[in-house]
């Protein structure tokens, strides 16, 4: 049972001088057990040391006081999200000023140079201020929003002299079943449930998620819902467009006048030049600019060769059928990566980094092999971790997951960090030879061209149809020479041209 103090004019006569200030009008009183079936305890006046509420005596030494709720505005700052990231771009707000938020509620989605991250609240309260517009830059450590929270300071009144046995009362919040509970405040508006990738698609089509009927779990909006909404909107627009009026009766031949030659109109010159436009550098484009600027300090040297992947293609066809059992698409790339890992074990210098600050070379124990991907957000190089200890099937599964993340534009931060060696399959788009650029702090990269069926001589001097892929290496000439890269390429090439030889070293 919970009640409110209306007046406390003379309580200071019997409360200790240091404690009387904690009892205030408006404090709630809660009984630890029921006093009577019809007791209504409201403190109207306090004149005696022995409290009596509806003829029920209470134990005065068990009184406690808790201060009223105090509102406090806390700046919610952008925490460090790792990888040395100092700034992010605000891509979407999930709250607005006046919204009530709870712990772990989504506040906004930000995009760093490497990944998209959803920021969640650490407080319960009301959003009173938003510091950044969409596509604005937010610095790590700077506030994103202000949240008004409520805090309670609980102070115990000093023990008073016991006068008569009775029920203990507590001024403050009650733990009993009879306490009065306030109804939860209603939310300012329902938010559509959708993943960051779906929200990004909606942003591209300029679709408000509130107008889309979600078909996913708990009404979650899916990618298919966005596309269906766009198609329906386009169809309605075409149906509502006015049509030209059609004459109900065709003119007779007698009413048709002979055509007269019309004068050729003189049209004004058409200016087809488009105006210049400026676009802010953000997202993965910022990463590419920073990475390529740092790569300009590395002295590159190139090495090219060709590999006959005829036998590797036959093996891939067999593995493709086996992979379908696990719903995994086995391509040539997992085989390229596993063969590269076996060669890296023999040439660890290619799987190293250069520590100029300490005049040292760091040999990496893990083979985290990156794969350059062309996504709708630009060039991204995620990597498969610990290739040296994984099977070809496990590599294919990890690679398939990375490709799905790339299609959705939602890489995890861990997908994009820690790479030690990179393979670029530019041949999937076109081209034979290229000059790849090293991704710091790595020291080597290889790019592969498209597969071509070309005539080549076999060991007996006969002309055969060979399946040729041209490969192009770039290496850091500060710690590697051409002979090292040539030997590495020869070993890698032998594994790919004779894939059965890899069986001796697979783990």
Question: What residue has token string 């406090």?
Answer: 72
Q: Which residues fall within 8 angstroms of residue 137, CB to CB, at 6 or more apart?
A: 87, 88, 89, 90
* Local structure of residue 387 (DSSP, 8 states): G
**Segment 12-35 mean pLDDT:** 39
Quick one: pLDDT at residue 386? 97
**Segment 368-381 mean pLDDT:** 88
How far apart CA 461 and CA 244 sit, in angstroms, is 75
Q: Which residues fall within 8 angstroms of residue 379, CB to CB, at 6 or more apart?
A: 284, 288, 372, 373
Question: Is pLDDT larger for residue 337 or for residue 222?
Answer: 337
Question: Is pLDDT larger for residue 237 or for residue 12?
Answer: 237
Choice among 96-100, 215-219, 322-326, 391-395 with the minimum mean pLDDT: 215-219
Asked if residue 381 has pLDDT above 50, the reply is: yes
Domain covering 298-504: architecture: 2-Layer Sandwich (3.30)
Q: Report the share of the chain in percent with pLDDT over 70.
A: 70
Residue 287 token pair: 């990463």
* Local structure of residue 60 (DSSP, 8 states): G
Output the average pLDDT for the chain.
76
Q: Which of 16, 91, 101, 17 is nearest to 60 (CA)?
A: 16
Give me the half-sphere count of Cα atoms (radius 13 Å) on the Cβ side of residue 16: 12
Quick one: pLDDT at residue 341? 97
Choice among 71-80, 254-263, 283-292 with the minimum mean pLDDT: 254-263
Asked if residue 31 has pLDDT above 50, the reply is: no
How far apart CA 213 and CA 222 sit, in angstroms, is 9
CB atoms within 10 A of CB 30: 20
Question: Is pLDDT larger for residue 69 or for residue 105?
Answer: 105
Quick one: pLDDT at residue 300? 94
Choice among 124-133, 157-166, 359-368 with the minimum mean pLDDT: 157-166
- The structure's pTM equals 0.53
Domain assignments of the chain as residue spans, ordered by start: 2-68+153-171, 70-148, 196-232, 298-504
Q: Which of 146, 108, 144 is nearest to 127 (CA)?
A: 146
Residues classed as catalytic: 477, 481
Residue 236 pLDDT grade (very low, low, confident, very high; cuts 50, 70, 90): low
Question: Is pLDDT larger for residue 92 or for residue 378?
Answer: 92
Topology (CATH level 3) of domain 70-148:
OB fold (Dihydrolipoamide Acetyltransferase, E2P) (2.40.50)
Quick one: pLDDT at residue 24? 40
393-426, pLDDT tens digit by residue?
999 999 999 999 888 888 888 898 999 999 999 8
Choice among 39-43, 142-146, 373-377, 427-431 with the minimum mean pLDDT: 39-43
| Element at 325 (helix H, strand E) | helix 310-325
Residue 338 token pair: 């596993």
**Segment 351-364 mean pLDDT:** 95
Q: Which of 153, 180, 181, 152 is nearest to 3 (CA)?
A: 180
Residue 52 pLDDT grade (very low, low, confident, very high; cuts 50, 70, 90): very low
The residues pairing with 76 across neighbouring beta strands, listed in sequence order, are 145
441-455, pLDDT tens digit by residue?
999 999 999 999 999
Question: What residue has token string 């040296």?
Answer: 388
Asked if residue 365 has pLDDT above 70, the reply is: yes
DSSP secondary structure string for all residues of 233-258: HHHHHHHHS------SSPPPGGGPPP
**Segment 194-203 mean pLDDT:** 77
Q: Count of residues for the chain? A: 507
Pick the CATH number of 196-232 from 3.40.50.10140, 4.10.320.10, 2.40.30.10, 1.10.1380.10: 4.10.320.10
Asked if residue 323 has pLDDT above 70, the reply is: yes
Quick one: pLDDT at residue 265? 65
CA dihedral 309, 506, 474, 417 (to 10 degrees): 120
Residue 191 pLDDT grade (very low, low, confident, very high; cuts 50, 70, 90): low
How far apart CA 5 and CA 44 sit, in angstroms, is 7
Looking only at the bridges linking them, the beta strands covering 154-155 and 137-139 are unpaired
Question: What residue has token string 């040297």?
Answer: 301
């Amino acid at each position: 049972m919970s009640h409110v103090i209306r007046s406390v004019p003379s309580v200071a006569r019997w409360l200790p001088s240091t404690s009387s200030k904690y009892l205030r009008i408006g404090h709630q009183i809660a009984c630890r057990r029921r006093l009577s079936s019809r007791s209504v305890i409201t403190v109207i006046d306090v004149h005696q040391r022995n409290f009596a509420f509806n003829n029920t005596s209470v134990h005065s030494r068990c009184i406690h006081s808790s201060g009223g709720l105090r509102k406090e505005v806390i700046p919610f700052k952008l925490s460090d999200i790792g990888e040395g990231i100092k700034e992010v771009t605000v891509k979407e707000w999930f709250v607005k000023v006046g919204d009530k938020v709870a712990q772990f509620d989504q506040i906004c989605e930000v995009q760093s140079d490497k990944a998209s991250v959803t920021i969640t609240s650490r407080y319960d309260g009301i959003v009173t201020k938003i510091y950044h517009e969409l596509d604005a830059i937010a610095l790590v450590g700077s506030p994103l929003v202000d949240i008004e929270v409520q805090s309670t300071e609980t102070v115990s009144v000093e023990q008073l002299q016991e006068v008569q046995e009775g029920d203990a009362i507590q001024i403050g919040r009650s733990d009993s079943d009879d306490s009065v509970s306030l109804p939860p405040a209603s939310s300012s508006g329902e938010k559509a449930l959708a993943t960051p990738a779906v929200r990004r698609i909606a942003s591209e089509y300029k679709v408000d998620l509130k107008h889309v009927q979600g078909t996913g779990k708990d009404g979650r909006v899916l990618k298919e819902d966005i596309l269906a909404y766009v198609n329906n909107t386009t169809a309605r627009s075409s149906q509502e467009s006015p049509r030209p009026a059609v004459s109900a009766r065709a003119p007779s031949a007698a009413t048709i006048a002979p055509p007269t030659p019309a004068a050729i109109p003189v049209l004004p010159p058409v200016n087809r030049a488009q105006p210049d436009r400026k676009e802010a550098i953000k997202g993965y484009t910022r990463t590419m600019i920073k990475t390529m600027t740092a790569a300009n300090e590395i002295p590159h040297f190139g090495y090219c060769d060709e590999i006959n992947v005829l036998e590797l293609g036959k093996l891939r066809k067999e593995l493709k059928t086996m992979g379908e059992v696990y719903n995994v698409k086995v391509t040539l790339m997992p085989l390229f990566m596993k063969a590269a890992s076996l060669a890296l074990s023999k040439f660890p210098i290619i799987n190293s980094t250069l520590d100029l600050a300490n005049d040292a070379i760091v040999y990496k124990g893990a083979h985290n092999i990156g794969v350059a991907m062309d996504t709708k957000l630009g060039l991204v190089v995620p990597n498969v971790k610990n290739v040296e200890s994984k099977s070809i099937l496990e590599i294919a599964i990890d690679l398939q997951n990375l490709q799905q993340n790339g299609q959705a534009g939602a890489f995890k931060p861990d997908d994009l960090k820690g790479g030690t060696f990179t393979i670029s399959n530019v041949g999937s788009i076109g081209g034979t030879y290229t000059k790849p650029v090293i991704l710091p702090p790595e020291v080597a990269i290889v790019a592969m061209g498209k597969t071509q069926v070309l005539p080549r001589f076999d060991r007996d001097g006969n002309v055969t149809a060979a399946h040729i892929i041209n490969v192009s290496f770039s290496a850091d000439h500060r710690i590697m020479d051409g002979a090292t890269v040539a030997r590495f390429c020869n070993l890698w090439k032998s594994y790919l041209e004779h894939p059965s030889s890899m069986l001796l070293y697979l783990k």
